[in-house]
Amino acid sequence: MFKSIFTNSFGILVSRIFGFIRDMLQASILGANIYTDIFIVAFKLPNFFRRIFAEGAFAQSFLPSFSHSKQKSVFSVSIFLKFLGFLIVFSLFVTLFSNLFTRIIASGFDEHTINEAAPLVAINFYYLILIFIVTFLATLLQYKNHFATTAFSTALLNIALITALVYSQDESPKTIVYHMSYAVIIGGVMQLIVHLIAAKKFNLFKILIGGFRGLKSKKDRIKDDVKRFKGTFSASVVGSSTAQISAFLDGWLASFLFAGSISYLYYANRIFQFPLALFAIATSVAIFPKVSRYLKNEDTKKAHIMLQKSFWFLAYLLTFATVIGIIFSDEIVWLLYERGAFTSVDSAHTSMILTMYLVGLIPFGLSRIFSLWLYAKHRQVEAAKISMISLGINIVLSLLLIYPFEAAGLALASSLSGFVLFYLTIKKFGTEAFWKILKDKKLFILLGLLLITIVLSLMLKDFFNATL
């Protein structure tokens, strides 16, 4: 278990290092202004779907259905073709009506800014087609217990964007964001190439070719498998995307605030996503195939043991990351971003927003591994309902907090909804089973760390309130 987690974590670490280099260059060259906001909005929609696909929803529905299917090749090809066809049509639709989609995702932009952003929205959206193919192959590689290719390949996107920034740094901001948008597509192509190489190495082409050949003759045999997948996928999308929907909502509401607000939220959220991805996402991706197999074979005891080990592993790491992040939020933002066009005022805004996001790191991170239990047992609908409630509370809190606290209020609303998500997820998992996990001497250490976290959060919140 820990070998797979380490592989995922190290791959994510490498990718995030390149991501922070990209962010530092972007902050230095573009700063926090309307053109930065335009690129962030343009990349927001495909990146939103990428996070949903790559960080859970597809695998959480596909892997259990794939494991149960007696016609694995035909089932996998059938799902692949349905998704690919839909995404191609959807991408063409976005291209034709790019102004409309830009208005939807950035309603606060004026007409001129929407016209500037619309072509970039169309270009960036084609990344979604590439990343779906990557995610499909990555899920099959997960079934083969191979995680390294997917974990490390995300760095290729960041390398492409870094290259575009360096190449065009002396150009106008408008030219730079166009170069970055084309770099997104190039990065997607590079990710696809390395996954095709890995697929060949693990003999996945044999499975896929067999699926294509038998698709017509064996189509009737996979009806129940496809039906089961369709019944769980839409629920999985909702259930695994609360953090992404919250970030998407934050950006939409921030478009009504002063210029740069979207950028501040983006930069702060990028730092927040680092420990979430490095620890929580890496752990959940690594243990999910095994938990699914244990539950499929009715070996509940082994599944519980794996969940317990994962819980304590994550609890310590996320608590440590929260404490360090809150204490050194100013220094972290200064180190990563404050240079060139990114000023000390920009750092102050970003730092406070980061603090508000970090309040929710522990509940968002821990809720992921308990959600796996629901997904592995085909209880995606229950997980979706939990996320819908959490999201609804997030929307209400965002509307309440945006007026007095602006962008920082949006981040705090997201964090508070994370506690609701965690509580409801534990309730569905089983309160009694959860307390059995907590009956351990480690609990006292964790409670001490949590107490420190809470005190620091409250102190910084008081400072935050006093400065606004």
Residue 446 has a pLDDT of 61
Counted domains in the chain: 1
Q: Which residues contact 342 (CB under 8 A, 6 or more apart)?
A: 27, 28, 31, 32
Range of the domain at 422: 2-467
Q: How far apart are CA 432 and CA 434, in angstroms?
A: 5
Q: Tell whether the model's pLDDT for residue 441 goes beyond 60.
A: no
Question: What percent of the chain clears pLDDT 90, i.e. is strictly above it?
Answer: 12
Residue type for 299, please?
A: D
Tell me, rounded to whole angstroms, the distance of Cα 49 from its chain centroid. 9
Phi/psi for 197 (5° steps) reads -65, -45
Residue 224's alpha-carbon distances to 58, 262, 369, 377, in angstroms, are 18, 44, 28, 17
pLDDT for the residue numbered 396: 92
Reported pTM = 0.70
Residue 285, classified by CB atoms within 10 Å of its CB into exposed (0-12), middle (13-18) or buried (19+), is buried
The pLDDT of residue 12:
73
Report, as an integer, the average pLDDT of 318-344. Answer: 84
pLDDT higher than 70, residue 313? yes
Give 186's pLDDT tier (boundaries 50, 70, 90): very high
Write the single-letter amino acid at 329. S
Whether residue 286 contacts residue 270, with contact meaning beta carbons closer than 8 Å, is answered with no
* Sign of the alpha-carbon dihedral angle for 123, 342, 271, 37: negative
Longest Cα–Cα distance in the chain: 70
Please state, for a pLDDT cut of 70, what percent of the chain lies above it: 86
Nearest alpha-carbon partner for 61 in 243, 239, 300, 311: 239
pLDDT band at 137 (very low <50, low <70, confident <90, very high): very high
Give phi and psi for 413, each to the nearest 5.
-60, -40
Q: Is 240 in contact with 52 (CB distance < 8 Å)?
A: yes
CA 121 and chain centroid, separation: 19
CB 282 within 8 A of CB 8: yes
Q: How far is CA 348 from CA 232, 255, 407, 458, in A?
A: 43, 19, 12, 18
What sign for the dihedral angle of Cα 317, 322, 323, 329?
positive
DSSP-based three-state secondary structure for 357: helix
- Structure token digits, residue 76: 């996998």
Contact 156, 193 (CB under 8 A): no
- Is residue 264 within 8 A of residue 345, CB to CB? The reply is no
Structural tokens at position 241: 């995307």
